[in-house]
Structure 1
């Protein structure tokens, strides 16, 4: 009860103080929004198109894995579903999800970190502000049943422990978890022109009043979650001091108890911030019509009054700001910019490379089959490329290399994660814009062209989209660099200038009319003056970097106007390729069942030749869209069993497809004849070679044998011979002539005769095989039939004939 009272009192106090600042900033944000609306302006229009709801009727990933349950202290199989909200739903089983049953829980990933090793997890656990710390080498309190763990760590909320069976599964789930964290951390909508800037400015001013300048790692999720993190930032140390010394038991147990207590407090705080924030926003929205009317009536007077006050504050602040800028900031601008540009440009370049490969693949496939059905199938596969965590992982990894070491301490940067995640979100947006633009161009071309004309149009559309991507990505990166520099430099300058300038600010309030005091705040003007003092240097640094062309940036003089107006008339809707062109066999969505069976962006993993794994693992079935990830085909081939089953070697398909290994290529060049020889279970002898008696004129190039155990009482009535490329089965013309032992003796005798003939005729010739031999003459298997020695001289290949009286069987020659 005491703990609950402390928590509630602290939450109310923080929310009350934050609410006062938010109300002031809401009026300022409304003023800026109305002024921008009246005066106009803005950045040049982008070249690529945007779509409103790219994930409509889509899900990201789903599959089964193991989860550790705190209640039972046991590992249990769970089915995880990641929808278009990027929240992770936990279900008892796949069937429970498909039946629409309630989930066992939902993980909102904002503020979490996705880990893949217990060592990394224990490192974060020991670095957290808790007295319950493990010593080096101490065994973890949680033992993972496999060597492939997946852990979601949060500084305040509950931790979630999972594990999978294979490394491929772990990599895929880790990419998905990281994408969930990345998406939910970027929870503030840029479309809210008033509430979003009001919230961010109020939060920044509140933390600055407490002495916290610079970036903040826990500005993650939606506003209630961010406010809960704000409360826990001050409440958590107090709880640690109050509770941790009272915990009993072993170290591992104390760690678990502390995490459960922290999670319970965090959930209660989140519930309170949710309620109080909604009430705060509602109060401001009620007041908005009156404020809006006052602004539009007195806009000219408000602007004049603000400019007058700004001039007075600038005269006091600007000399101090310029002195600080010259001595402590300007020498480091280029270093900060270089540190930001290197990994960011590599990431955007990787996005372009992946986009280029995918578009080229679509064009090549269309050249082979230009039907609209096939085109729809190929386009369906790339439509969600930007939201494919596995395919985009290489782009995101480039940004992970960002290193601000040395600059972090000087400019009070807690972590570069804020900039890393922002750049990754921009990469995904640019990829989706490029793919969407290509889709719109292709749909327009498919309606007007077909066949060869369609292929040419696809090539032109590809070049067109890549040029637009180059320009837009350059603009986006330059804007990102400017914003990142401001995020790093401005807090540092405010921290240095506030002690000397803040005492002078209250006297400027007397210059503001009371009716305008809601829209003009001297604190905001002070920050604007500091911002203006450094903006010129930042713009110049970015411009110089663009002139160097080292990072593929367009110069500011190369600004493209809206050079393609017709493109922006195509639309911003997501194209249903399966429905319009009959591309992919999609499921018709409708109602709740349709929402539960949405098309899945990330495909499942299916390892051929291996039995399905238990517990509904994500290895069981292919994905809904059946889209393989990058290099997945090679990985699958490498994981096939080395020795296929006998029936797989003997059964031949009508369409074998492309050869994937040396053995398959060898078998295509030299068809393999396989003989199934009946034998009794009592006979322990094993044949090492076998051959069928042949008619005169039959040709044999390569011979293998296979033994089949059959009951002695039921001898076979025929011998099965299978050619791998023809799917033709031959049977004995007279199967009642011989008993089992007579057949085996005849085959062994024939083999011995062939081996003697080969050794006598081809001795010493195989090592000297001519390099310019024809394909019929060369044998990759290492065995050269003496019957084909004189093929190059123009002679016809002479077949090997075996004349035997015991068995007569006609071999049908396979078609190579």
Structure 2
């Protein structure tokens, strides 16, 4: 691998990469410094003049993922170095970066990870065919076939691939389809979070960066949306450099690669990753230096703005009027002929999947809140309520539960716009809408938590179910209003992102040559805050905004989209609600919702509560499990986990005699008899019908060795058969047959005992004095004739009932039985202890047997 990179990336090519990166960063730096002053002017002006956004009904919390992790588990990864598949433990924390460890134990011990994957710019794939198509396109080989075999073979039929156009690819696989779907949802969530754009909390740096990037690409002739605006500033700039550098290197290096197609694909992927890492290192360093220069200059610019704000605003309005007078006729003519006819169709294409997605969010929210109400109705204790609220608190960040909402947005189709309006792909709008869905779900859940917590404060739990129902109704109404507001804002922004670049591309050739002359109207002291290029774009934006607003208002009238009209003003009905906290409520700590969670110390620092639960593969041996559960993880149940829990409840261990679930597992043996029963297991068979036993044979598992067999027979008093309407009662006939079988079984047992006691007692003592494990047998205190010990397998309801134990007639076969239990009819119980370890007179035993048999026959 190293030879391929060093051979094709020699010192000359590395110097070319460094020079190209520096050139791009220098050009971008000039735009950034200009836009930084403009962004600072807009920020200070907004601060002075004020401006209110639409008041939201739902609350927002700042750090919802505090002390939380998304997912973790084990799967198989393909290692480029060894060209082999190895088991790896993956951990996805609150940053959505994927950390790879050698094993789960290495993660628990706090060891350094083998690597970290930042998913910005990646695509999560589950099909090898789709991956091959992308790989062949990236190589640009006309001879490549779409059905060509890849350079690696997946050991299972459930692959997971992280693909990037420039960086290294990552290959994983799992054992089941359910695992694949869950991991794919987690990977998609990581990509979605990383591609969400820059932080909006930076009121100056973020708009300055985005505007500078847009103007730089427009200067190069790229006006449309850009898929690779992913990750942080350094990653975005690296993608900007690779956008032009990558094709050039491919034309230089790919023709020189040797070997088969698969080998050339592999080599080019490694070379591209090495180039991307070199570019990223340079862009990170140079952007930090650029940002530092602007931050140092900020206090001086801020002081100048606040001193001359009125004059700057007046100068800008004067220049804006002149520019609008020049370009407005051209803009209006373009809007009438090329924009207005297509606004409604574009809006309809956006609204259909978006409305379905937000409606699905509401349905999931409603079903989860109803589930909380049902559980509270069954158990209204504060502890149970805390447990349910703790599970629902992370609903918005559960990739699997939210997948149905995200999937609705995947149906967005802008195929007709990709050529007309220079829309590269709809992924920009899809991911933005999905992030808004997650935010609205989290806001709704957080508001519900705050309302419930406020209602519980100082109140009893008697009307808890009614309180939760009222909170649920209020939250759903607030969600309907906020989701309508968020969707309308998303539609306006999406239309602007589609239409404005198209209009600028059409107007720039005719309008751009006339703009420099307006610079003469701007005072030199104000020239850093007023740029004619920005004023021209604002004029284009204002001209088309009116048509976009009207289109969205008309769409709000259609009830199928579930949008509120702008004229419908809803005031905040909960005046005190916004005074509540913004942090996540610790339901486990306040109401004792989650049990078994250790607070503080090493355990709290090492293990965070995991949002997505693990997968158990039933029947799979431990070395081949691809997902192992972290102890103590109990969060939001999966789509079938509630039902699975009931199934597990119904599949408790069953008593083989009484066929009832064992409530308590047998503990460690305390007595000698219990130890003996563990060494020599006793198999008890319920014999209600003699037809259940065929030829006296029992079905045993392979490898099981049974030392004693105890047959328990249900006995009933002997009665003569009765006639019903001239015919014998079938129940009485069956009982008569059972009694006859019991008598024959007792006679057979007596014969076997007589054969056994005729043997030499000395031999019995020598043979039976030592048990199978070589331990000397001792008489237990509890081994009285009336005491029956079956090592915990006897039902408590039958503790005082001893039943007759018939033995099958085996002919000449010698029975090696230590104890025979004979249960007498009508409560008469007698036990004959044949244990040779307690010597007794054989004649007395024979007499007791004969007496017992006579009583049974009577």
Quickly say closer, same or farther: Cα 1:416–1:621, change in 2 above 3 A: same
* Contact preservation (8 Å) 1:578, 1:586: no
Give the one of 270, 274, 285 matched to 2:284.
Answer: 274
What residue in structure 1 maps to residue 62 of structure 2? Answer: 52
Residue 11 in 1 paired to residue 21 in 2? yes
Partners of 1:437 and 1:281 lie apart in 2 by 38
1:630 aligned to 2:639?
yes
Query: Aligned in 2, Cα 1:471/1:644: closer, same or farther, shift over 3 Å?
Result: closer
Q: Distance in 2 between matches of 1:728 and 1:133?
A: 80
Partner residue in 2 for 1:346:
356
Q: Name the structure 2 match of 1:772.
A: none
Q: Deviations over 1:62-97 (max 9, x none)?
A: 000000000000000000000000000000000001
Give the direction of change, closer, same or farther, for the CA distance of 1:806–1:127 in structure 2 (3 Å limit): farther
Q: Secondary structure at the match of 2:100?
A: strand
How far apart are 1:619 and its partner, in Å? 4.6
Q: Is the 8 A contact 2:657 2:686 kept in 1?
A: no
1:691-734 CA-partner distances (Å, limit 9, x unpaired): 964322699999xxxxxxxxx9999x999899999775788545
SS of residue in 2 equivalent to 1:150: strand
CA contact under 8 A between 1:367 and 1:452: conserved in structure 2? no
**Structure 1 unaligned residues grouped into runs of 5+:** 657-672, 678-682, 703-711, 745-803, 810-816
Q: Which residue of 2 aligns with 1:662?
A: none
Q: Which residue of 2 aligns with 1:104?
A: 114
Q: Indicate the residue corresponding to 1:763 in structure 2.
A: none
Aligned to 2:128: 118
Q: Which residue in the other structure is 1:675 paired with? A: 686
Q: Which runs of 5+ in 2 are unaligned?
A: 1-10, 665-683, 689-693, 700-709, 719-730, 736-766, 773-784, 814-851
Alpha-carbon distance between aligned partners in 2 of 1:521 and 1:740, rounded to the nearest angstrom: 109
Structure 2 CA distance for partners of 1:347 and 1:648, relative to 1, 3 Å: farther
2:714 equivalent to 1:694: yes
User: Match for 2:31 among 14, 21, 28?
Assistant: 21
In the other structure, the counterpart of 2:543 is: 533
* 1:334-733 equivalence runs, <5 A: 334-585=344-595, 587-588=597-598, 590=600, 594-607=604-617, 609-614=618-623, 617-620=626-629, 624-633=633-642, 652-653=660-661, 675=686, 686=697, 693-696=713-716, 728=798, 733=803
**Pair 1:166–1:623, CA change in 2 (3 A):** farther
Partner of 1:666: none
1:25-53 CA deviation, whole Å, 9 max, x = no partner? 00000000111111111212111111111
Alpha-carbon spacing, 1:635–1:126, altered in 2? closer, same or farther (3 Å) = farther
Give the superposition deviation at 1:588: 3.8
2-structure distance, mates of 1:494, 1:808: 107
Q: CA deviation at 1:444?
A: 1.4
**Counterpart-to-counterpart distance in 2, 1:648 and 1:568:** 60
Give the Cα–Cα distance (whole angstroms) in 2 for the partners of residues 102 and 218 of structure 1: 30
Does the residue aligned with 2:243 lie in a helix, a strand or coil? Answer: helix
Distance in 1 between residues matched to 2:294 and 2:369, nearest whole Å: 48
Q: Is the 8 A contact 1:117 1:149 kept in 2?
A: yes
Preserved contact between residue 652 and residue 722 of structure 1 (Cα < 8 Å): no
- Output one character per residue of 1:8-27: Cα deviation in whole Å (capped at 9) or x when no partner: 00000000000000000000
Q: Indicate the SS of the match to 1:140.
A: coil
Q: What's the offset of the Cα at 1:549? A: 2.1
Cα separation, 2, equivalents of 1:266 and 1:324: 41
* Structure 2 CA distance for aligned equivalents of residues 425 and 384 of structure 1: 15
Which residue in the other structure is 1:320 paired with? 330
Q: How much does 1:594 deviate?
A: 3.1
Give the secondary-structure state (helix, strand or coil) at the position aligned to 2:63. Answer: coil
User: CA separation in 1, counterparts of 2:589 and 2:277?
Assistant: 44
In structure 2, distance between residues paired with 1:589 and 1:616: 30
Q: SS of 1:558's equivalent?
A: coil
Tell me the CA shift for residue 563 of structure 1.
3.2
Report how far residue 135 of structure 1 moved.
1.3
CA distance in 2, matches of 1:643, 1:586: 24
DSSP 3-state at the match of 2:145: coil
Aligned mates of 1:481, 1:322 — CA distance in 2: 22
How far, CA to CA, are the matches of 2:183 and 2:358 in structure 1?
A: 24
The SS at the match of 1:628 is coil
Question: 1:232 and 1:566 mapped to 2: Cα distance?
Answer: 52
Instruction: Tell me the SS of whatever aligns to 1:143.
Output: coil
So what's the TM-score if we normalise by structure 1?
0.82
1:558-611 alpha-carbon deviations (Å, 9 max, x no partner): 12233322110111011111111111025345467534310000011235x524
| 1:776-795 aligned within 5 A | none
SS in 1 for 2:82: coil
SS in 1 for 2:474: helix
Residues 144/643 of structure 1: CA separation in 2 closer, same or farther (3 Å cut): farther
What is the number of residues matched between the two proteins? 716
Counterpart Cα distance in 1 of 2:419 and 2:231: 26
C-alpha separation in 1, matches of 2:392 and 2:34: 46
Q: Work out which of the two has the higher radius of gyration on C-alpha atoms and give 1 or 2.
A: 2
Tell me how far apart the structure 2 counterparts of residues 685 and 3 of structure 1 sit (CA, whole Å).
86
| Alpha-carbon shift at residue 452 of structure 1 (Å) | 2.8
Contact 1:148 1:163 in 2 (8 A): yes
| Correspondence list, 1:134-173, <5 A | 134-173=144-183
Correspondences of 1:212-227 after superposition (within 5 Å): 212-227=222-237
Q: Contact (CA 8 Å) 2:654, 2:661: kept in 1 or not?
A: no
How far apart are the structure 1 equivalents of 2:253 and 2:797?
A: 76
Alpha-carbon contact 1:132-1:254 (below 8 Å) kept = no
2:303 is matched with: 293
Structure 1 position 649, deviation (Å): 9.6
Distance 2:716 2:603 in 1: 66
Sort the Cα spacing of 1:604 and 1:37 in 2 relative to 1 into closer, same or farther, 3 A. same
- What is the CA RMSD across the aligned residues, in angstroms? 3.4
CA gap of 1:401–1:331, structure 2 versus 1, over 3 A, is same
Q: 2:101 aligned with 1:91, yes or no?
A: yes
* Alignment partner, residue 760 of structure 1: none
The DSSP-based 3-state class of the residue aligned with 2:85 is strand
Q: Secondary structure at the match of 1:162?
A: strand
Contact 2:360/2:404 (8 A) holds in 1:
yes
SS at match of 2:380: coil
- Give me the TM-score of the superposition, normalised by structure 2: 0.78
SS of 1:66's partner is: strand
CA distance in structure 2 between the partners assigned to 1:726 and 1:106 by the alignment: 57
Q: How far apart are residue 613 of structure 1 and its match?
A: 4.1
- Distance, in Å, in 2 between the alignment partners of 1:620 and 1:127 is 39
Matched, 1:82 2:102: no
Query: What SS does the aligned partner of 2:400 have?
Result: helix
- Deviation string, structure 1 residues 514-565 (Cα, Å, up to 9, x no partner): 0000000000000000001100000000000001222000000112233322
| CA distance in 2: counterparts of 1:572 and 1:454, whole angstroms | 24
Cα distance, 1:262 vs. partner? Answer: 0.4
